[in-house]
Structure 1
Amino acid sequence: MTAKSMMHKKPVDLNLTTFTQCAPETVQAQPVVELVLALGSNYQADKYLPLARQRLAALGEVRLSTAFQNPDFTATTQLPKPDYTNQCVHLTLTTPMSLQQLQQTFKTLEGDCNRCRQTEPNQIRRVTIDIDILLIKLSKENNSLSKKLVSKPMSDWIIMADRYPFKAHEEAGVEELILTKL
């Protein structure tokens, strides 16, 4: 193991409670330069996860966490559901985009992957791809939150309050990306 790779393996105290949290609507127009996403699929994940990662790579540099297979927490013995494959993605954008633009881009990508949001009651919900924004890093320029963020550790990163607390696989993915130099 090289000194450089050992440096990335140092334990990191990932205390997410110290991160700033914002409701997405409060930063809709802010320019985002980096983000951490949660990807999930419970239907043809071997097809749709690589397709989503490829499309995300067209937006900038992509780094991936380990993919996890997790049971659907809404499954019951009466209504079993397929497991999800989940993975976190760190995306450094080539060109900053507003959070609103990113959300629309990801909804379009989900649609391009045949994501169907409507299901009949008691029908198994097939999710080809789900893309959720967990963390964002705003551009230092025009950042109305910069004064508020300066005193906090890892202050550049903002947790999307509608996604927190993270699910166990999301927290594990975020930790892994931070350990490998988020």
Structure 2
Amino acid sequence: MLKRCAPETVQAQPVVELVLALGSNYQADKYLPLARQQLAALGEVRLSTAFQNPDFTATLEQPKPDYTNQCVHLVLTTPVSLQQLQQTFRTLEGDCHRCRQTKPNQVRRVTMDIDILMVKLADKENSLSKDSIFKSMSDWIVMADRYPFKAHEEAGVKELILTKL
């Protein structure tokens, strides 16, 4: 039902709405609100419930901290290219003191991770009306590199769709 595209195929396209996955395994109570505040400066934000999940890469030999994950539906005030959004989110991660480099066997602390799950392009009919959100799912493009969604992402997207937050 949903179209899947590799992000690079729509890099230059203007985006009007998107669904993001936020994640933090270090001081989530500090960094999730900061990220949400900065996202709200870009447009209208709707949130799913925040879920606490174990790191699926953890093992008994190498335990890892749990993640707090949340999905965000963002209706942009102004259309922005996917490429620009990716850079904006990378900057936002940096504003949250994200450190991408770790030493071998060091537990990775992720203050903020922002992944784009789905986008709606500007050439599709768009409305800021809460009643029309997700009305036509065929207008949405799923980022192929993020699909299939992880369980917490799927739960967050479903919650946003069902509650039309």
TM-score between both structures, scaled by the size of structure 2: 0.91
Map of 2:66 onto structure 1: 83
Give the AA of the match of 1:33: V
* Identical positions, percent: 85
What are the ranges of 5 or more consecutive residues in structure 1 without an aligned counterpart? 1-17, 142-152
CA deviation after TM superposition for structure 1 residue 78, in Å: 1.2
For residues 75 and 163 of structure 2, what CA distance do their matches in structure 1 show?
Answer: 14
Give the AA of the match of 2:150: K
Aligned residues: 154
Map of 1:113 onto structure 2: 96
Map of 1:136 onto structure 2: 119
For residues 85 and 100 of structure 1, what CA distance do their matches in structure 2 show?
Answer: 26
For residues 81 and 181 of structure 1, what CA distance do their matches in structure 2 show?
Answer: 34
Map of 1:53 onto structure 2: 36
Tell me which stretches of 4 or more aligned residues in structure 1 moved more than 3 Å.
none
CA deviation after TM superposition for structure 1 residue 181, in Å: 2.1
CA deviation after TM superposition for structure 1 residue 155, in Å: 1.4
What is the aligned-residue RMSD (CA, Å)? 1.0
Map of 1:149 onto structure 2: none
1:65 to 31, 45, 48: 48
TM-score between both structures, scaled by the size of structure 1: 0.83
Give the AA of the match of 1:80: P
Kindly provide the CA deviation profile for residues 121-172 of structure 1, in whole angstroms up to 9, marking residues without a partner as x.
110000000000000000127xxxxxxxxxxx62110000000000000000
For residues 121 and 73 of structure 1, what CA distance do their matches in structure 2 show?
Answer: 18
> Which structure's CA Rg is the greater one?
1
Map of 1:162 onto structure 2: 145
